[in-house]
Amino acid sequence: MFRHVSTGKTRNKLLGGAATMLLGALAIVPSAQATEELNALVWCDHTDPALIAPFEKKYDVKVNLKEYEGTGAGLSIIEQSRAGDWDVMVIDGVDVHRAVDMGILAEIPADALPTADLFPEVVMADNNMVDGKTYAVTEKFGYNTISFDKTKVDPKDMEDMSVIWSDKYAGRIAVYDYYLPVIGLVGLGLDIDTADLGADDMPAIKEKLFAMKKASKQVGEVVSSQTALATGEVDILVGGGEWITAVLSEDKPNLDWVIPKQGGLRWAQSIAVMKDSEKPDLALKFVQYILSPEGQARLATSSCYWGMPANAKAGANLTDAQKSALRWDDQEGYLANSQLYPIPDADLDAQMQDAWVEMLQQ
């Protein structure tokens, strides 16, 4: 008599076969995927699903996001990509000309943008336009200054830039790992305007950078800097600002920031359509969404970091608590006491980067 016995191996084969058939069946079922894709090279604040999902839903599109920090890194990614790989790019406002010179940005029709709704100080036509043509538009701005834990340091001390290279808080300082704003801040501490910063100033700046490194505990990118301040690993963050503390305002009310008496650096990020984009219309719609009051409010309070929206009408979409964390009502004074990032030429940029690596190796 035969008895049918299903051995372990037989069962495994059967299960394997069933799984293969199931996968095959799934492969031929029409998927609910978006019909189009948009590739955006962005800063980390754009990776918040709360910001991107409404656009994806409205236009039935999948937005592929690649995050980067620092224009050099962004341009490096583009140089390693093929033409047409990217549709949209977020870029430092002061570097738009650099990107236009490289021929990677497309002209944006001026009437397609809500320029009249932007805070006048951040329209930055000199930066976003070349030869009368608009290539980018400011979407968000804020300040690189000094963030600190007000329960652990004397807030009065933070009003003087020289505190960052003094010994008073040695070992309790983190430095944001982006050479341009921090070198700009050190320059301001030495009474050098960012627009005037040149190669002759580098020896003095290096000396202060090295002193600052000696007093610091770590030099890190956005997340590690924010984590270090939030967890109490450090008490001061050089290069920080509302973009570091505002997002933590509910959980960490002890964190604060200040623009020192010497001034602070103003960062402004612009958004642009790539020249070789194969979907320029969709790319422009994305830019328009980001610049809309709804998009601006979501971008301003993005999970990665908060910052002031460029569009003044976004205020209607923000809560009082959010506006308070962003210090909406203090912007006039801040704008007056802040300068844009330095815009070095290639040689000065190389010198700055060498100085930065030298500082890291101290």
Q: Which residues bind another protein (CB under 8 A)?
A: 70, 72-73, 75-76, 79, 102, 171, 177, 217-220, 224, 231-233, 346, 350, 353-354, 357-358, 360-361
Closest CB to another protein among 83 and 350?
Answer: 350
Smallest separation, CB 221 to another protein (Å): 9
Report the alpha-carbon distance of residue 167 to residue 213 in Å, rounded. 11
The answer for residues whose C-beta is within 8 angstroms of residue 223's C-beta and 6 or more apart is 44
* Between 118 and 185, CB nearer to another protein: 185
Shortest distance in whole angstroms from residue 346 CB to another protein: 4
DSSP for residue 325 = H
**To which H or E segment does residue 15 belong?**
helix 8-28
Q: Min. distance of Cβ 321 from another protein in angstroms?
A: 28
Least distance in angstroms from the C-beta of 345 to another protein: 8
Would you say 300 and 318 are in contact if contact means Cβ atoms under 8 Å apart?
yes
Q: Which is nearer to another protein, 219 or 247 (CB)?
A: 219
Looking at the Cβ atoms of 18 and 360, the one nearer to another protein is: 360
E strand or H helix at 149, and its extent?
strand 137-149
Look at the alpha carbons of 113, 114, 115, 120 in this order and tell me if their dihedral is positive or negative.
negative
Q: Which amino acid is at 76?
A: S
Q: How many CB atoms lie within 10 A of CB 144?
A: 27
Q: Take residue 174 and report the two structure tokens written for it.
A: 């983190």
CA distance linking residue 304 with residue 177, whole number of Å? 16
Name the DSSP letter for residue 341: P
Residue listed under structure tokens 């079922």: 29
Other CB atoms within a 10 A radius of the CB of residue 27 amount to 8
CB of residue 69 to another protein, shortest distance in Å: 9
Q: What is the DSSP secondary-structure string of 263-323?
A: -EEEEEEEEEEBTT-S-HHHHHHHHHHHHSHHHHHHHHT-SS---EESBGGGGGGS-HHHH
**78-112 exposure pattern, b = at least 16 Cβ within 10 A, e = fewer:** beeeeeebbbbbbbbbbbbbbbbeeebbbebeeee
CB of 178 to another protein, least distance (A): 9
Q: Which CB sits closer to another protein, 254 or 353?
A: 353
How far apart are CB 23 and another protein at their closest, in Å? 25
Min. distance of Cβ 93 from another protein in angstroms?
Answer: 19
d(CA 300, CA 285): 19
* 220 versus 263: smaller Cβ distance to another protein: 220
- 193, amino acid identity: D
In terms of CB distance, is 108 or 229 closer to another protein? Answer: 229
Q: How far is the CB of 79 from another protein (least distance, A)?
A: 5
Nearer to another protein, 109 or 203 (CB): 203
Give the residue with the Cβ less far from another protein, 318 or 352. Answer: 352
